[in-house]
Amino acid sequence: MTFTAPLSTGLSNRFGYQPVVILGGFLTCLGTICTAFTSCINQIYITIGIVSGLGYCLTFLPTVTILSQYFSRRRSLVTAVASTGESFAIFAFGPAFTALKTHIGWRYTMVVLGMLQGTILVCGLLLRPMIIKIETTECLTKPLRKQEFENSITDTEFSGSVSSRGLVVQSSENLEGGLQTEGQQKDGDTFQTAQCEKDTKRLGRNKLLDLSVLKEGSFLCYAAFGLFATLGFFAPHLYVVEFSVSMGTERDKAAYMLSIMAVAEIFGRLSIGWIMSCGCIRKIFVLLGCVFLICLVLMIFTVVEGFWGLAVCCVLYGFLLGNIASTHIPMLAEDDVVGIDRMSLAVGVYVCIQSVAGLAGPPLGGFLVDITQNYSSAFYSCAAGTGIGALFLGLVRPVKTGFLCPKKKISTCQNSL
């Protein structure tokens, strides 16, 4: 579901967001419905794990990217509000589908779920991507360029380059050789246009496998933050019920811990969007503060006692988790990391790196619990992961500004016109 993130962003850069989301919605719907006709767990691995998982990846990342492109000042608020749909769906659909399964069985329930997921196709049709204009080749800045390349290049006026009568203003070196004839100018324009088209097509092909973001130190630090911080996101959801029981809480009451987290997470997602939209402090510093606080909450989990103490920790953890979950991907669009123009390339690589921790974190926590026979060890490991992630997150801006790694001054030669 997340290891294919680079494929999702690559396809989006090549073919656009709309067709990729439509394809992802179709695969998600198809995989869920096909699950109703499976006869063994291995078939479910294919239908849900591969088909629906790939479809989810093809729909999630393009929609997050396009949403970040549509807004600048209120980007954090918009993405936070949009992300609350996930929390509301878990809170509402969980009990609903459980009741539906009791009445019609799990197979028909999967069919109903797949039909509901078909609405993703409609949402994909409504997407209208914005065009981020990036000049990457020298030919794009030539004054004689006359054609407009769709979705990537727009015409730009160059004052003084071409007069109203079509006469080309040449440099002193060209003037010594004499004025070009109209036929030579036409041939030159044709050659230049063809060369620009060739470079543009080559740029489009390279984007499918573009990993140039790995050369940026700020992105590497941010990816390391995502890798280690993800280790701290699984323990409370997996072990909080059993941990509460081991601390003396009744099992019936312990089951409410997950609901408390879910409700607090909704408020966390909404509040962080409003805070970041105020613009009083850099967004990356707000995220750093949330990561640091969630590390402390994970440590406090291991020392509190009783139902109410654990409930307070669940409220704090859910609130802070909502803060982080709704901002860590849109944060890539900020200039402190990679910027909006390269977000579509960075988000796939970032999610792929982050998924390594999502795959290794739960087994690591279970291994520690089995060895120590104490659920607190899982919370300690998660706190350590988020603590290391906070250190890398704190390095993102110093690296980006060149405070830690000063950039070498590169002299550039400009052609006089």
Strand partners, 168: 162
Distance CA 157, CA 46 (A): 54
- Residue type (1 letter), 65: T
Which pLDDT value is given to residue 32?
A: 93
pLDDT score for 279: 67
Whole-model pTM above 0.85? no
Is 1-131's fold the same as 215-401's?
yes
Q: What is the pLDDT of residue 288?
A: 93
- What are the domain boundaries of the chain? 1-131, 215-401
Please report the pLDDT score of residue 51 as a whole number. Answer: 92
Give the integer Cα–Cα distance in Å for 134 and 146.
Answer: 17
Give the model's pLDDT for residue 237.
82
Instruction: Please tell me the predicted confidence (pLDDT) of residue 99.
Output: 83
- Any alpha helices (H) in 302-342, and if so which ranges? 306-325
pLDDT, tens digit (0-9, with 9 covering 90-100), for 80-112? 777 777 777 777 777 788 788 888 998 999 999
With a CB cutoff of 8 Å and minimum separation 6, the contacts of 246 are 375
At residue 319, the pLDDT reads: 93
| Homologous superfamily in CATH for domain 1-131 | MFS general substrate transporter like domains (1.20.1250.20)
Run means of pLDDT, 10 residues per run, the chain, 417 residues: 75 86 93 92 90 88 79 73 75 77 90 91 82 49 42 39 37 42 46 45 49 83 91 81 84 82 87 77 88 93 88 92 87 83 81 83 84 88 91 90 58 39
Please tell me the chain's helix, strand, coil percentages from 3-state DSSP, rounded to the nearest 5: 75, 0, 25
Question: Residue 257 CB: number of other CB atoms within 10 A?
Answer: 24
pLDDT computed for residue 404 by the predictor: 64
What is the largest distance, in Å, between two alpha-carbon atoms of the chain? Answer: 94
Cα–Cα nearest to 340, from 161, 163, 141, 76? 76
Does domain 215-401 sit in CATH 1.20.1250.20? yes
Closest-CA residue to 16 (of 183, 100, 132, 102):
132
The rounded radius of gyration (Å) of the Cα atoms in the chain is: 26
Half-sphere exposure of 303 (CA within 13 A, CB side): 5
The residues, ordered by sequence, that sit 6+ positions from 240 with a Cβ below 8 Å of its Cβ are 254, 257, 258, 261, 301, 310, 314
What is the rounded CA–CA span in Å between residue 392 and residue 260? 30
Query: In the predicted model, what is the mean pLDDT of the chain?
Result: 76
